[in-house]
Chains A and B, each alone.
Chain A
Amino acid sequence: MQEMIKSKLAELLSTGAVTKVIGWKRGENFYDVSPAAFESVESLADFVYDDFCGANLSKFLVKEPGKESKVAVVLKPCDTFSLNQLIKENRVNRENIFVLGVPCEGKLSEEKMRVMGIVGLTGCKVEGDKVTVETLYGTETLDKNDVLLTKCATCHSKKHVIFDELIGETGEDSDVDRFVGVAELEAMSEDERYEFWRNELSRCIRCNACRNACPACTCEKCVFDNDASGVAAKSNANSFEENMFHIIRAYHVAGRCTDCGECSRVCPQHIPLHLLNRKFIKDINTFYGDFQAGADAESEHPLVHFTENDPEPSIVKEGK
């Protein structure tokens, strides 16, 4: 698979169809695969596509002025939703990008393995629902479901919604119930829920990783960096005010979040941030009918779109 992708990318670069490729390359450790840009065929030697390519590359396109040249990007199915959303918001110029869709059967979490006591990873092979890992200390076989990234465990679609070319086949929408976690939160009493989030958010170190990885957070200047907004660099009146960062962020991406799960994946403090966004997605689905942000590059999300038949909860009566 990796070689097929590489040869396609090499072809694109060598023919001059694109001047840059956004993909992944390996870091210091085997499992440490990071986004990377490749500008020559030779540099593609470092290109990696394996089971640790969790990162969503669509956001990197925002920074591409790309007025004259084209950029190729390698996208997994879930990443294509983010790209559509960015095109919809005019953050990416569709004409200047070449999307190479690659199949995905769920990416793995080294952190989950570490919790299980598996350290010193040097190799990994997935066969069906089993994962065989090589470590400095020997070989182990694991259940794939136990070590999937949280976002992949509740994958909502294996279908590429936008691409110029596919390597392999595209998949189908999944019928996994991704709102189980939200339902658990909804089942809590208000006090329990408040305590749950206070506890989770208390670990936040404001590293901004969630914001920086989120493909919906692409503002020219984030309100949290804008002195004029009144919320930037403000000393907190109390510990709750710090927590507001995540709540404000969830509101800012409401209706635009494609549920790519990057926020939770990159959080070094393991805060389940995706649950905040999923609560909004669930509510939007409930109130306005099913809506998947990024499913196409045209339709407006219900929160910024008026129709004559909008429900007005204060007016709509039961049974009418």
Chain B
Amino acid sequence: MQRIGVFVCHCGTNIAGTVDVKTVAEMLGKEPGVVFSTDYQYMCSEAGQTLIQDAIKEHNLGGVVICSCSPRMHEQTFRKACAKAGLNPYMVEVANIREQCSWIHKDVAEGTEKAVILGRAAIAKVHLNAPLTAGESPVVKRALVIGGGIAGMQTALDIADAGFEVDIVEKNATIGGKMAQIDKTFPTLDCSACILTPKMVDCAQHEKINIYAYSEVEDVKGFVGNFSVAIRKKARYVDETKCTGCGICTEKCPVKNIPNEFNMGMDNRRSIYIPFAQAVPKIATIDPNTCNKLKTGKCGVCSKVCGAGAIDYTQKDEIIRREYGAIVVATGFNMIDMTKFDEFGYAQSKDVITSLEFERLTNAAGPTGGTLLRPSDGKHPHTIVFVQCCGSRSTTENGKPYCSKICCMYTAKHAMLTREKYPDTDVYVFYIDVRTPGKNFDEFYRRAVEQYGVHYVKGMVGKVAPRADGTLHVQASDLLAGEQLHIDADLVVLAGAIEPDKSARGLATKLTASMDTNDFFTEAHPKLRPVESPTAGVFLSGVCQGPKDIPETVAQAGAAASKVIGLLVKDKLTCNPCVAQSDELLCNGCSGCEHVCPYGAITYETKEFMQFDRSMKPRRVASVNPAVCQGCGACTVTCPSGAMDLKGFSNRQIMAEVDAICK
């Protein structure tokens, strides 16, 4: 039996306010094996740690139970303190009597009772603890950035500038992301492409950056410092090493009616295409779903016109496996599908458009060459209605409960620019609230209202109905005036909610990174570790973590990069000694553990085992690579015979805890 010391923390009044700490210390002092029990105001303070260290020496303690806050807060503090006093750090258990007890109870008697029970469970566990020693694993000094938008590019550039190799995986044919589609940026109104394209070129030219465009992550194995990632390089049917990006093929291709994704489908591209003039890499891509040659075998025009001989109709997807020390997720966002909102008539009229479509309509490289024209008849719109919060802050089935954060500002930008360029236009903005926290943001919005005469109306648009004459009948409420408005508009622009890219969920599964209910990646800690995923070695950059504008994205991208650099400069990482191990005498060889292991840490081998009659019989048994195992415990619950067990969290320890709680 261990000689156990119990240390109950007051955490000021955080714990002591709802838990009678003196009683807890006294009750736990009577538990079997407990030779010392005390309480103290702040156990994590220097004085508190000294108290623990002194008790270890004085009472010759073999195990320590600390009743305090969550182990996520101070487990490391206490382990280190105990290690200094000569105790193996894994002989320390933390009973969480703050988050799991005092903070959720109001009644002192109840809180105290629960604190005692949690303490008992920890004592029962410590009795079965064994000293553990951590190993080390090497770090692959290369990072993977998934997503080549502004977030991914900035992270890659920052990591590469620190001297580490970075690979960018981008699923589209070019990097650039959403920012490449935007016309101007708020609140400075500088040209988006003008500030973005230099960064794209930087990425392409940086000797430490390698871009896998038109590629996707196929699978991810391994763990922090040692990820192994398979990247599917989709067939472009164009030899990247030969294509010069001259674009002749994209002019001669006879398939002309493919909606151009880059211009939000408002004009057409060919079946072989280069997304836009500044694309990086500037390589043509054949769309296999529409190419005549690939579909029917008849055509081959692009191949004939290509002077470089780059067209290769036989190209196949290629799988590349690379090792990485860290992975940054920068998968970005899309606007939600506006066709679900019947009331806005998006599916009924070409003149109801989304904000991103509006960006393309006002962009010099867009379908109209930058002149604002109605998509339906190409005429100048004279009355434009902007509708904010289309699906944002919505509790309906089709909407999103969160604020998309960027819409207030870009709508103010759209309204202002429209009035600037076309002063004869009437511009209405319908809003629930205008949210402009940010440097120079409110000033910007006020300029739209005060200098540019944009009609801001507090209230929601209830219905947009196309009329026979091509105008749009907009019904809305003006909440401040308390009246219904009827506006005949030429163009309606919907500021739709943004949502994480659809590919993010599958990726989260591959990375074992967690997501919230809206499919945004969750942070390791919402305040203190905002750019790290709870999965070690996986970092978050940009909108995949939550809605944010360009400056915030760039700031977060830099923060993620600094975390990656902090990881990659290390030569070795200390492993978690709480890893699984297999008892060969119990193992059936069923491979259940091997299948559930997310890290590929389990392998099987056939060994000879002596039978009762002393004959030898071969049997397949599991073995765990402790450097790869992350101690998640999936194998231990899958193993039917109980051969697989987790050090530090053994089946018996957990049973002992449950028994102590149920006693």
A1 at the interface (CB under 8 A from B): no
B591 at the interface (CB under 8 A from A): yes
**A318-B11 Cα distance, complex, nearest whole Å:** 43
A4 at the interface (CB under 8 A from B): no
**A218-B641 Cα distance, complex, nearest whole Å:** 9
Indicate which residue in B517, B586, B620, B655 contacts A90 across the interface (CB closer than 8 Å).
B620
Interface size on B, residues (CB 8 A): 31
Identify which of residues 211-251 in chain A touch chain B, using a CB-to-CB cut-off of 8 Å. 218-223, 226, 228-231
B585 in contact with A89 (CB, 8 Å): no
| Contacts known (A226-B642, A300-B595); A219 close to B586, Cβ less than 8 A | yes
B595 in contact with A91 (CB, 8 Å): no
* A315 contacts across to B, CB distance below 8 A: 515, 517
B591 in contact with A90 (CB, 8 Å): yes
* A309 contacts across to B, CB distance below 8 A: 506
* B70 contacts across to A, CB distance below 8 A: none
* B69 contacts across to A, CB distance below 8 A: none
**A197-B248 Cα distance, complex, nearest whole Å:** 77
Which chain A residue shows the least CB distance to B620?
A: A90
Query: By CB atoms of chain B within 10 A, which of A91, A304, A315 has the most?
Result: A304
A123 at the interface (CB under 8 A from B): no
A308 in contact with B510 (CB, 8 Å): yes
**A319-B398 Cα distance, complex, nearest whole Å:** 10
A91 in contact with B618 (CB, 8 Å): no
B509 at the interface (CB under 8 A from A): yes
**A256-B651 Cα distance, complex, nearest whole Å:** 22
| Contacts known (A67-B618, A90-B591, A319-B397); A230 close to B652, Cβ less than 8 A | yes
B641 in contact with A89 (CB, 8 Å): no
A306 at the interface (CB under 8 A from B): yes
B617 at the interface (CB under 8 A from A): yes
A304 in contact with B509 (CB, 8 Å): no
B596 at the interface (CB under 8 A from A): yes
**A309-B510 Cα distance, complex, nearest whole Å:** 11
B585 in contact with A221 (CB, 8 Å): yes
Whole-angstrom distance between the Cβ of B647 and the nearest chain A Cβ = 15
**A222-B589 Cα distance, complex, nearest whole Å:** 14
B592 at the interface (CB under 8 A from A): yes
B585 in contact with A220 (CB, 8 Å): yes
Whole-angstrom distance between the Cβ of B644 and the nearest chain A Cβ = 12
| Contacts known (A91-B589, A306-B509); A219 close to B641, Cβ less than 8 A | yes
B641 in contact with A221 (CB, 8 Å): yes
1/0 contact string of B583-595 vs chain A (CB within 8 Å): 0011111111001
1/0 contact string of B640-663 vs chain A (CB within 8 Å): 111100000001100110000000
Whole-angstrom distance between the Cβ of B419 and the nearest chain A Cβ = 39
A308 in contact with B652 (CB, 8 Å): no
A89 in contact with B591 (CB, 8 Å): yes
B617 in contact with A308 (CB, 8 Å): no
Indicate which residue in B595, B642, B656 contacts A223 across the interface (CB closer than 8 Å).
B642
B638 at the interface (CB under 8 A from A): yes
**A310-B591 Cα distance, complex, nearest whole Å:** 21
Identify which of residues 271-320 in chain A touch chain B, using a CB-to-CB cut-off of 8 Å. 300, 303-310, 315, 319-320
B505 at the interface (CB under 8 A from A): yes
Whole-angstrom distance between the Cβ of A300 and the nearest chain B Cβ = 6
**A253-B590 Cα distance, complex, nearest whole Å:** 12
**A89-B590 Cα distance, complex, nearest whole Å:** 4
1/0 contact string of B495-518 vs chain A (CB within 8 Å): 000000000011001100001010
**A230-B657 Cα distance, complex, nearest whole Å:** 12
Whole-angstrom distance between the Cβ of B588 and the nearest chain A Cβ = 6
A305 in contact with B595 (CB, 8 Å): yes
Which chain A residue shows the least CB distance to B604?
A: A90
Whole-angstrom distance between the Cβ of A270 and the nearest chain B Cβ = 26
**A89-B506 Cα distance, complex, nearest whole Å:** 28
Which chain A residue shows the least CB distance to B517?
A: A315
Identify which of residues 106-124 in chain A touch chain B, using a CB-to-CB cut-off of 8 Å. none
B505 in contact with A308 (CB, 8 Å): yes
**A67-B397 Cα distance, complex, nearest whole Å:** 61
* B598 contacts across to A, CB distance below 8 A: 306
Query: By CB atoms of chain B within 10 A, which of A223, A230, A300 has the most?
Result: A230
Which chain A residue shows the least CB distance to B655?
A: A230
A130 at the interface (CB under 8 A from B): no
| Contacts known (A226-B642, A230-B652, A300-B595); A308 close to B509, Cβ less than 8 A | yes
A65 at the interface (CB under 8 A from B): yes
**A229-B652 Cα distance, complex, nearest whole Å:** 7
Indicate which residue in B397, B510, B517, B588 contacts A219 across the interface (CB closer than 8 Å).
B588
A220 in contact with B588 (CB, 8 Å): yes
* A252 contacts across to B, CB distance below 8 A: 640
Indicate which residue in B506, B641, B655 contacts A220 across the interface (CB closer than 8 Å).
B641
* B595 contacts across to A, CB distance below 8 A: 300, 304-305
Whole-angstrom distance between the Cβ of B510 and the nearest chain A Cβ = 7
| Contacts known (A221-B641, A230-B652, A319-B397); A304 close to B586, Cβ less than 8 A | no
A304 in contact with B592 (CB, 8 Å): yes
**A303-B592 Cα distance, complex, nearest whole Å:** 10
Whole-angstrom distance between the Cβ of A220 and the nearest chain B Cβ = 6
* B590 contacts across to A, CB distance below 8 A: 89-91
* B641 contacts across to A, CB distance below 8 A: 219-223, 226
Whole-angstrom distance between the Cβ of A250 and the nearest chain B Cβ = 12
Which chain A residue shows the least CB distance to B652?
A: A230
**A91-B510 Cα distance, complex, nearest whole Å:** 30
* A307 contacts across to B, CB distance below 8 A: 509
* A220 contacts across to B, CB distance below 8 A: 585-588, 619, 641, 643
* A308 contacts across to B, CB distance below 8 A: 505-506, 509-510
Identify which of residues 321-373 in chain B touch chain A, using a CB-to-CB cut-off of 8 Å. none
**A301-B510 Cα distance, complex, nearest whole Å:** 19
Identify which of residues 593-644 in chain B touch chain A, using a CB-to-CB cut-off of 8 Å. 595-596, 598, 617-620, 638, 640-643
B596 in contact with A226 (CB, 8 Å): no
**A252-B590 Cα distance, complex, nearest whole Å:** 13
A304 in contact with B506 (CB, 8 Å): no
**A310-B598 Cα distance, complex, nearest whole Å:** 15
Indicate which residue in B509, B588, B617 contacts A91 across the interface (CB closer than 8 Å).
B588
Known: A220-B585, A220-B588, A223-B641. 12 other contacts (CB 8 A): A89-B590, A219-B588, A220-B641, A226-B586, A226-B641, A229-B642, A253-B640, A304-B596, A306-B596, A308-B510, A309-B506, A319-B397
- 30 A–B contacts from the bound complex (CB under 8 Å): A65-B617, A89-B588, A89-B590, A90-B589, A90-B591, A90-B620, A91-B588, A219-B588, A219-B641, A220-B586, A220-B588, A220-B643, A221-B641, A222-B641, A223-B642, A226-B586, A230-B651, A230-B652, A230-B655, A231-B655, A252-B640, A303-B638, A304-B596, A304-B638, A305-B595, A306-B596, A310-B509, A315-B515, A315-B517, A319-B397
B interface with A by C-beta (< 8 Å): 397, 505-506, 509-510, 515, 517, 585-592, 595-596, 598, 617-620, 638, 640-643, 651-652, 655-656
Q: What are the 10 closest A-B residue pairs judged by CB atoms, nearest first?
A: A89-B590, A219-B641, A308-B506, A308-B509, A90-B589, A252-B640, A223-B642, A304-B595, A230-B655, A304-B596
